[in-house]
A = this chain, B = another copy of it.
């Protein structure tokens, strides 16, 4: 028995407990715990309870605010800005979401800009929360400048994820959340630890030559997915979730870090669209036509994105439990001392 099984309720309570005991305010502990818990439930282990170790460790480094309350600015009819004031992004998202949703319903389309936040979390829980309101959601962030532009050899872009959710009546939304880098930085790190080579196309070494050595890749630069197109998309994310919202580029986030290797500090852009407004009076009909797209994909044996995650969620909900490695469990429990 190398796994520790926890009920879903225990996993959430433990997360909350650890975060509060280690200095986070109840508001921040709640927002972070819910996000981490969702990751564990969906078996996204790198965004699951493991993150408790990272969050508490980062807090001790003294950079992240444990308790800053998000400051909301109603910047324009279609824009709400939430200043995280140097705390993690998640409480700012939870604070901004109802305002974003109200604006989207009224304007048709609206944006939430989260500023001055530390960011470690996957974006799919956020776009799913938007879809749960019956809205279409998009979320994007920079990170640190680990990724070279197409044709280049030096890191400029972050791993710059893009997440999208489309609400589907009576079932899980259509959701994707992908890094615009060819691979996640964590995947390269996992290859390094396992002593494995990485696939070609993931990275270049410090000289700009293609490499399959994970250590050389971490010291060199990662590459974007999809050649010049992925590179262009990554630049768009960098611009929209950086200077457009008055926040840092991945290059600037990296410089701000001063080599500490801490969680990136920057902004996040979230966009919500109300399909009831955009589709007009025949919204039900158009929503049903969207289902034809999903059918045409699955009927030929292809998978929708997030399918594996939804299957994991169904398993966790059916058993009412999640499992984590015993050693990880012991490390988490030690944080309660």
User: Which 4 A-B pairs have CB atoms at the shortest separation, nearest pair first?
Assistant: A226-B226, A152-B302, A78-B107, A76-B108
Q: Compute how far the CA of A238 lies from the CA of B289 in the bound complex, rounded to whole angstroms.
A: 11
Q: Quick one: CB contact mask for A137-155 with B, threshold 8 Å, 1 for yes?
A: 0000000010011111110
With a CB–CB cut-off of 8 A, which chain B residues contact A232?
164, 176, 178, 305
Residue of B nearest to A280 (CB): B246
Can you list 7 residue pairs at the A/B interface with Cβ under 8 Å? A79-B108, A113-B278, A152-B302, A153-B300, A178-B229, A242-B290, A246-B282
With a CB–CB cut-off of 8 A, which chain B residues contact A303?
151
With a CB–CB cut-off of 8 A, which chain B residues contact A273?
111, 240, 244
Given known A-B contacts A229-B230, A293-B156, A77 and B107 have beta carbons under 8 A apart? yes
| A202 is an interface residue with CB less than 8 A from chain B | no
Q: Quick one: CB contact mask for A179-192 with B, threshold 8 Å, 1 for yes?
A: 01000000000000
With a CB–CB cut-off of 8 A, which chain B residues contact A151?
301-303
| A218 is an interface residue with CB less than 8 A from chain B | no
Q: How far is the CB of A207 from chain B (nearest CB, A)?
A: 12
With a CB–CB cut-off of 8 A, which chain B residues contact A78?
77-78, 107-110
| A166 is an interface residue with CB less than 8 A from chain B | yes
Q: Given A75-B278, A176-B235, A251-B292, output 4 extra A-B contacts at Cβ < 8 Å.
A: A78-B110, A108-B110, A148-B302, A225-B229
| A227 is an interface residue with CB less than 8 A from chain B | yes
With a CB–CB cut-off of 8 A, which chain B residues contact A156?
293, 296-297, 300
Contacting B at CB under 8 A, from A303-317, are 303, 305
Copies held by the complex: 2
Q: A244–B275 contact, CB under 8 A?
A: yes
With a CB–CB cut-off of 8 A, which chain B residues contact A197?
none
Q: B292–A149 contact, CB under 8 A?
A: no
| A335 is an interface residue with CB less than 8 A from chain B | no
Contacting B at CB under 8 A, from A114-159, are 136, 145, 148-154, 156
Q: Compute how far the CA of A130 lies from the CA of B280 in the bound complex, rounded to whole angstroms.
A: 25
| A286 is an interface residue with CB less than 8 A from chain B | yes
Contacting B at CB under 8 A, from A222-264, are 225-230, 232-233, 235-236, 238-240, 242-246, 249, 251-252
Q: Compute how far the CA of A302 lies from the CA of B235 in the bound complex, rounded to whole angstroms.
A: 13
Given known A-B contacts A227-B225, A293-B251, A245 and B278 have beta carbons under 8 A apart? yes
| A36 is an interface residue with CB less than 8 A from chain B | no
Q: B289–A174 contact, CB under 8 A?
A: no
Q: How far is the CB of A250 from chain B (nearest CB, A)?
A: 9
With a CB–CB cut-off of 8 A, which chain B residues contact A174?
235, 239
| A277 is an interface residue with CB less than 8 A from chain B | yes
